[in-house]
Amino acid sequence: MVVREKILDTVISCFKRHGAKRLDTPAFELKEMLTEKYGEDSMLIYDLKDQGGELLSLRYDLTVPFARYLAMNKLKKMKRYHVGKVWRRESPTIVQGRYREFCQCDFDIAGQFDPMIPDAECLKIICEILSGLQLGHFLIKVNDRRIIDGMFAACGVPENKFRAICSSIDKLDKMSWNDVRYEMVTKKSLAPEVADRIGEYIQRCGGVSLIEQLLQDPRLSQNKQILEGLEDMKLLFEYLTLFGIADKMSFDLSLARGLDYYTGVIYEAVLQTPSQTGEESLSMGSVAAGGRYDGLVGMFNPKGQKVPCVGLSIGVERIFSIVEQRMKVSDEKVRTTETQVFVATPQKNFLQERLKLIAELWNAGIKAEMLYKNNPKLLSQLHYCENTGIQLMVIIGEQEMKGGVIKLRSVASREEVAIKREHLVAEIQKRLSDS
């Protein structure tokens, strides 16, 4: 929990730095609110048992509840962040940080703005968070749903198969192109020559030069949707360059993002961790993702009024798994409590004095502990401090009582000084602020 808290602090402070307000929504939604929003992933939604009344499901992500919230409250503009649990009926793989219940951290900008400015800010936020967490080298793959759909149309994919083929392409990070092609042709009845045409494009990635090449491509440049997507992508890269993060981006035609609600720019961040042999880098899967979804709020509005939105989600569970594995390797110890001072005694029958003393420390806002025993041994008290990383110890005994002083001991250096009882709190606070 300590490691998680640190990660969440980094994420949330970044969201606040970019001016977002916090929102929370219920753990479950009406089932009808969630259906037909996630494509093939809809089968991963947990439905709650029908007990008479409405049919409810546990939320699958934080984006659809946000869109529902905007529509219900007739909001046209909002910049919000949301940290909460979501549930998916997946096969858990603990090593990769894939669970059935996990925490998501989302940031979204809703409202009608000039093209690509909010989108560029979302990518900047991902860069700030991943850099702040010091996870090592990362790459953000960027694409656009309009480019994908336009490419499908130009290659001859029937329109009713767009989403199905899109979800196959989304598996390219887990499967080889040959396996994906086999799935498209055999299971989804796509003509082999159409699959091969798609294959020519989706294995390409790059930057602005690739955008220029595609704008000149005789097959693609005939498609209005692709041209719109490519012009926006060009503008996006211009803003990313101004933000100083273009070198972290890769315009990648294989990026599809399986969710149905995306309508424009989509992105996914992957960590590149060097393998043991040092020959190739090993991808840990995506640690952040998001995109533009301009039609989702309209689905919840009786009049179909749209509110354009763009957002991102940070995969904290996966990041947590990576950090935890690294800590195991480096044998790093983490303090699980924040206690600053331990109240001890070397003698018997000093419980009342310890209780008075610890209350004084607590009342002064100092984080303090003592052993719950009438007559603890001094050695046990010292060991407790060393094992839990407590820096300071205050010791009260007969000698101290007679002299009206308290001994203040530094646990690490074992130095002890006698301090007048009335000056104790001030001395402790001074030492804590200096350390």
Let me know whether 199 and 326 are in one domain.
Answer: yes
pLDDT in tens, 49-108: 988 889 999 999 999 999 999 999 999 999 999 999 999 998 887 766 778 999 999 999
User: What pTM, to 2 d.p., does this model score?
Assistant: 0.89
Q: Domain residues for 236?
A: 2-330
Q: Of 330, 362, 381, which residue constitutes the final position of a domain?
A: 330
* Strands ordered across the beta sheet of 405-410: 368-369, 341-344, 392-395, 405-410, 416-420
**Would you give the end-to-end CA distance of the chain in angstroms?**
24
Please give the C-alpha separations between residue 305 and each of 43, 67, 232, 311, in angstroms, as whole numbers.
28, 12, 23, 19
| Cα-to-chain-centroid distance, residue 336 | 22
Let me know whether 123 and 205 are in one domain.
Answer: yes
Q: How far apart are CA 215 and CA 17, in angstroms?
A: 37
Let me know whether 257 and 355 are in one domain.
Answer: no
Q: Of 302, 330, 358, which residue constitutes the final position of a domain?
A: 330
Domain count along the chain:
2
Q: What is the largest distance, in Å, between two alpha-carbon atoms of the chain?
A: 95
Let me know whether 355 and 324 are in one domain.
Answer: no
pLDDT, residue 276, reads 46
**Domain CATH number, residue 401:** 3.40.50.800
Let me know whether 127 and 215 are in one domain.
Answer: yes
Q: Of 330, 359, 380, which residue constitutes the final position of a domain?
A: 330
Encoded tokens for 203: 């294995």
- Helices 117-132 & 224-242 angle (0-180, nearest 10): 50
> What average pLDDT does range 341-370 have in this prediction?
96
Residue 435, C-beta contacts closer than 8 angstroms, at least 6 positions apart: 391
Q: Are strands 249-252 and 138-144 parallel, antiparallel or unpaired?
A: parallel
Residue type, 101: E
Phi-psi region of 292 (alpha: psi -120 to 50; beta: other; left: phi over 0): beta
Please give the C-alpha separations between residue 374 and each of 218, 341, 344, in angstroms, as whole numbers.
86, 19, 11
List of E strands, 280-385? 281-292, 309-314, 341-344, 368-369
pLDDT in tens, 202-238: 888 889 999 999 999 998 888 999 999 999 999 999 9
Let me know whether 385 and 239 are in one domain.
Answer: no
